[in-house]
Chains A and B, each alone.
Chain A
């Protein structure tokens, strides 16, 4: 029976965080998330963790499992061995057990204006977009906002102004959209002192992304685009 070692923390008890161990009976195909449910239901009803879809699409269950940021629902127990150490995402305030404060993460997401700012007034039907134009959004639109990248990023850890890999990937998603008309404003913002030039290109975000997306590459692209736009005098003053 594998042993789950889970970080427990409740500020209400006035205590420090500590690890508690649980023996968890398993079956074929069982995931770490199912293991956590087993603990909640049969051993420790105080255990706090977020989850919903259990199929890797809602982004609730990113946590630190055996040294890596992963989605608990997509992580097979069998692949983790006999000892499974589960901790909350890093660089975020722990509220209780595995639940962290997501507010800063969502504030930064909002800061990049994560919505289409149309280039043209729409007609009666759809904007036409060729398959090639649509292909430039592939992967960027698959982000589930799980914050695994955010938890893994050392710049996020040390620099609270930094927008973070999730927000910058989202910014590229709109910069690349043929229907969006705010490219230069977006580039000016991501090139400002909160954005892409704070990234040290450490590749953690790319390594941990459970959806195999490439925020590091996205940040690189934004840097190039901002650089050329600046040279051509297209960037408005950020403000």
Chain B
């Protein structure tokens, strides 16, 4: 039976960084990932990572405190301010560390790391390597894992937590290489499973691997989720495929144009901020233009980079140009890019504190699957990569502190019990005599979520969404049998992901219906105002078979009193 001091589930930036920290603190680490770590969606991040380095000529007065203020304001005052201060305070140090490990950031003439402006940032503080920052950070982190010889078990698909009383004792999953279920025990388990974008599979910037299962697994085991109703729609997804066109396009000076060729952002926000307003606001503006007939083909508006010139586009945004050429057959040097908002980020997630500690003993969370909360109701661009590395490192260290002196071994009873349950579930899926195609359920879920729990929300639509998701959950019980392929049973994998999508989607929809105000990315036509007295609090979701039970938790305020959010 495999047993480690700490089992880390997830090979993205958060998981890798946690593994490094735990290893450096002397722990025996087992890092599990359903895809090889370098395949993780962190590698798709383009635009950059925030830290108040003050390297940009216009950024010399920047500070971690300014960064914290921008983050809290961007969050529409739902972020926990103590956690935000930890993150922005640690930001410069962790960027220097990534640089010391070899991350190829772009540079200024004086040799320092280059920075670009991003939405909602008072200063240009987004450090970048062209438009491939995530790729560079992910590979740099993985290289450090290789250097340390940390054990990586890739293509092990985790499906369940093993729990004894109120203690997490490990995980169970299918090893895709053998087709068998395995247990992996640990004194601590860290979840770093990333975002849930594929709940909106028709219209998301997220990878196929980014599903709702990552948060559903702890949720099913009784761990509360937090702030699930806050879903970020990125303003600029490529028309059709929804592949991301980084905020860096606008950071470098790109325009948003409607069908009259007008920079319409001037009708919504101040001339000073224009296209670089926070994402929730820009997405609503774009969608309004489209809805009111000022888009193209009723579907998209233009992101225009042409005035930046060929050289700047080739140097700073080469990946964007490559994607446009390969997926849309257009060259942004010569033509504007058709874009529309797309689901991008889950602000909510597994409830935890600034050390990643969850209410279940021995279970920790970090990265996009976690909700600390540093993003509140709306995340600023460049803050998520930051969150993964800062809190990844903190969680690795926190585990080391917390399990010091724990000489226990694997809790075989609870691990074997969980193993048996998964083997039985597999047998049931194998022998089902149902007729439903599980992928039809996935597709219908995605339509429901985008149409009814999307950028603009209202009571009627969301109530309908809740009913419809519940029907899909019933239909899921009658899906056709899955094949027994032995090795690499991807049908089993995707069908299990769909179960996670359904329950996570239900939490999102119920949470959104429940919150009768507008805040950050959660915008209700029927309640357009932010209502601090009633709603400046986190929503907490506990799993129950017929839908989540909701409770509330206070927001931590330190320095920044809520104010009207104006840009």
Using a CB–CB distance below 8 Å, which chain A residues touch chain B? 10-12, 28-29, 31, 40-42, 45-60, 74, 76, 95-97, 99, 102, 106, 110, 113-116, 118, 122, 124-131, 133-134, 137, 141-142, 144-145, 174, 177, 179-180
Contact = CB atoms under 8 A, between A and B. Distances in A.
A217 B483 CA distance: 46
Contacts of B111: 126, 128-130
A31 B209 CA distance: 18
B35 A50 contact: yes
Contact of B44 (A12, A50, A55): A55
A29 B328 contact: yes
22 contacts: A10-B486, A40-B494, A48-B487, A49-B490, A53-B208, A54-B207, A55-B244, A56-B322, A57-B44, A96-B485, A115-B101, A115-B144, A115-B146, A115-B147, A116-B143, A122-B100, A125-B96, A126-B100, A126-B113, A128-B112, A133-B107, A141-B136
Contacts of B487: 10-12, 48, 95-96, 99
B491 A52 contact: no
B144 A53 contact: no
Contacts of A126: 95-96, 99-100, 105, 111-113
Given A45-B482, A128-B111, A134-B104, 18 more contacts: A12-B487, A41-B439, A45-B491, A48-B485, A50-B35, A52-B40, A54-B208, A58-B38, A60-B39, A125-B112, A126-B105, A126-B113, A130-B109, A131-B108, A134-B107, A141-B104, A142-B135, A145-B38
Given A58-B40, A126-B113, A129-B111, A42 B207 contact: no
B486 A53 contact: no
Question: A interface, by DSSP: helix, strand, loop or mixed?
Answer: loop
A53 B41 contact: yes
Given A115-B143, A118-B100, A42 B437 contact: yes
Contacts of B472: none
Contacts of A142: 132, 135
B151 to A, nearest CB: 13
B59 interface: no
Contacts of A46: 483, 485, 491
A118 B494 CA distance: 42
B104 to A, nearest CB: 5
Nearest to A106: B36
B99 A127 contact: yes
Closest 9 CB pairs of A and B: A128-B111, A116-B102, A41-B439, A115-B143, A45-B491, A12-B486, A122-B100, A48-B488, A58-B39
B135 A144 contact: yes
B477 interface: no
A52 B207 contact: yes
A171 B144 CA distance: 15
Interface in B89-123: 95-96, 99-102, 104-113
Interface residues of B, number: 59
A143 to B, nearest CB: 8
A73 to B, nearest CB: 9
B241 interface: yes
B192 to A, nearest CB: 16
B157 to A, nearest CB: 13
B38 A59 contact: yes
A41 B38 contact: no
* Most B C-beta atoms less than 10 A away, residue of A28, A118, A122, A126: A126
A7 B40 CA distance: 26
Interface in B237-257: 240-241, 243-244
Contacts of B147: 113, 115
A56 B102 CA distance: 23
B43 interface: yes
Contact of A52 (B129, B144, B208): B208
Given A46-B485, A129-B111, A134-B107, A124 B96 contact: yes
A76 B240 CA distance: 13
B308 interface: no
B144 to A, nearest CB: 6
A49 B491 CA distance: 11
B323 interface: yes
B35 A60 contact: yes
B33 to A, nearest CB: 11
A118 B36 CA distance: 26
Given A12-B486, A114-B143, A131 B241 contact: no
